[in-house]
Amino acid sequence: MVRGRNRVVVVSNRLPFVFHKDPDGSWRVEPGSGGLVSALLPVLRHRGGTWIGWPGTPGRSEELERTLAQTSESAGYTLQPVHLDAEEVHNFYHGFANEIIWPLFHDLQSLCNFDPTYWRVYCDVNRKFAQTIMESASNEDFIWVHDYHLMNVGAELRALRCRSKIGFFLHIPFPPVDLFVKLPWRAKLIDALLHFDLVGFQTLRDRRNFVQCVRALKSEIRFQGKGQIMVAHVGKREVRLGAFPISIDFNAFMRQAATPQIAARAKELHTLLPKRKLVLGIDRLDYTKGIPHRLNAFHNLFARYPKLRERLSLIQVVVPSREDIPEYGELKTTIEQLVGRINGEFVRPGGWVPIWYFYGSLTRSELLAYYRAADIALITPLRDGMNLVAKEYCASSIEEDCVLILSEFAGAATQLRSGALLVNPFDIEEVADTLKRACEMDIAERRARMRRLRRSIREYDIFWWVDSFMHAAFTRDLSDFPAPTTSIEELAESSLPF
Ligand code: GDG
């Protein structure tokens, strides 16, 4: 198969490591976090190749270059930096990416700040990425561009006469046409995306939204097919459009969660919080993750069902993210005030505390221990591209007796609907009632549901995701694309209506 011979060049906004400068001038390197890094690290570790991205710190220096070279060597693949100055970071990353695309694509148009300078710098920075790619990649390489920060890179690469195959994967949702058309640069962005050879989305719903936007803004473009891959005819070129639900390294999670150290730490958590069910929420600090709604649902649960007090506690981990953006600081304050209010209302002095709140990053072992200890995962984003935490939780639930409560508006809901309890995160009474149902669910139903979840995530793991994306990029004849299996057909046919 062709894909085996091609070197992969992964391109994303950030490199998969964070570089900090200590006061003594030396550089400290930490592994990056977030969904994209979790998904792609196993891929480059297995295949080798190059990862191009911003090192996460403005400016450049010889020491940083040296640290990058050392990190590349130990990582087993090449790290190629794209250096950005402070103004570029402000306008491109904080501005266009996080004040326009992130809220708009998560259905939160009222939070958008459509500043024209943001767009101009976004174009400049995307050109800079394309120039670095041209310096590092050969025509035989497969260039795989990731996410909403880099939607113009395909067009910029073509302008530089790049002849490689270029794929793009959008990790966040693609919005419905009536939201997308609010974007002042809507036609330019659609044009840019149609310069890739393959554009991948998390779900069929996202692809459907994209196709509707193309139809609305570029009526001359014709489409063919409607299965997992469809084709847009753009002049003489063909652009493939597919849905590829991203996943995790299921076996790695399962193996690590099964180690005696993780089991012991999970047991310790239960000893610290005895005689109650543990409900777990883990999210990056972000207004799309629905943390205040979730806390309100917890309040509603204890107010309406007093008998459940002392029978369960929520462990809410909030991982710092985009801390320098004012809205994120305000969100943190809102969450902390809510936790204080709920605990203040229901706490039993010297005994039960309803919500255990932790603001900070967990090590991988701690994360796994929390996954293993939790009887119920409560994952209720208001909108989410996929949500890997949901899949990681199931993979780590080795006893198969836990319950996943999942938002209908997470991309993962389509795939996991037959095992998870789906909720509307805006409906706090429904979330509270579903928590009660999860608490009271008998072991046979819990096992049956968790087995279905684990089977699906094991079958469609991160390696399936990479293979199906690469295959969609390289196969000559689309009829050669694997016939949908039952579960994939399920993914295709059972898309939720929203
Ligand atoms: C974007 C899309 C899509 C979290 N806290 C810690 C930690 N994590 C890891 C989790 C998981 C990842 O970060 C979070 O992934 P999500 O998918 O839940 O969310 P986003 O970061 O918003 O990711 C999302 C994803 O891209 C992939 O396409 O699913 O919809 O928004 O892997 O394990 N890891 C460690 N400590 C923590 O405290 N070690």
CA distance 293 to 290: 5
The finding on whether 16 has its CB within 6 A of some atom of ligand 1 is no
The finding on whether 162 has its CB within 6 A of some atom of ligand 1 is no
What SS3 state is found at 180?
A: helix
Alpha carbon of 310 to ligand 1 centroid (Å): 30
Q: Which residues contact 87 (CB under 8 A, 6 or more apart)?
A: 121
Closest C-alpha to 390, from 398, 400, 399, 380: 380
Count of positions (residues) in the chain = 498
Residue nearest to atom 22 of ligand 1 (CA): 35
> Which atom of ligand 1 approaches the CA of 389 most closely?
18
The finding on whether 387 has its CB within 6 A of some atom of ligand 1 is yes
**First-to-final CA distance of the chain:** 37
Neighbours of 40 (CB within 10 A): 22
Q: Residue 192 belongs to what H/E stretch? A: helix 186-193
User: Which parts of the chain sit beneath pLDDT 50?
Assistant: 1-3, 483-498
Token pair, residue 140, equals 């035989």
Whether 145 contacts 167, CB under 8 Å: yes
Residue nearest to atom 20 of ligand 1 (CA): 35
Supply the pLDDT for residue 32: 79
CA distance 432 to 296: 9
What is the edge-to-edge ordering of all strands in the sheet holding 312-319? 355-359, 312-319, 277-284, 376-379, 403-407, 421-423
Whether 15 contacts 77, CB under 8 Å: no
**53-95 confidence digits (pLDDT tens):** 999 887 778 888 888 888 888 888 899 999 999 999 999 999 9
Strands 78-81 and 50-54, sheet pairing: parallel
Residue nearest to atom 25 of ligand 1 (CA): 35
Closest C-alpha to 319, from 262, 353, 363, 254: 363
Q: Exactly one of 171, 195, 293, 299 is catalytic; name it.
A: 171
Pocket test for ligand 1, best of 387, 393, 404, 409 (most atoms within 8 A of CB): 387
CA distance 419 to 450: 6
Supply the pLDDT for residue 477: 76
> Which atom of ligand 1 approaches the CA of 248 most closely?
32
> Which atom of ligand 1 approaches the CA of 321 most closely?
21
Supply the pLDDT for residue 39: 73
Whether 212 contacts 177, CB under 8 Å: yes
Active site residue 171: yes
Q: Which residues contact 234 (CB under 8 A, 6 or more apart)?
A: 194, 221
Supply the pLDDT for residue 481: 61
What SS3 state is found at 449?
A: helix
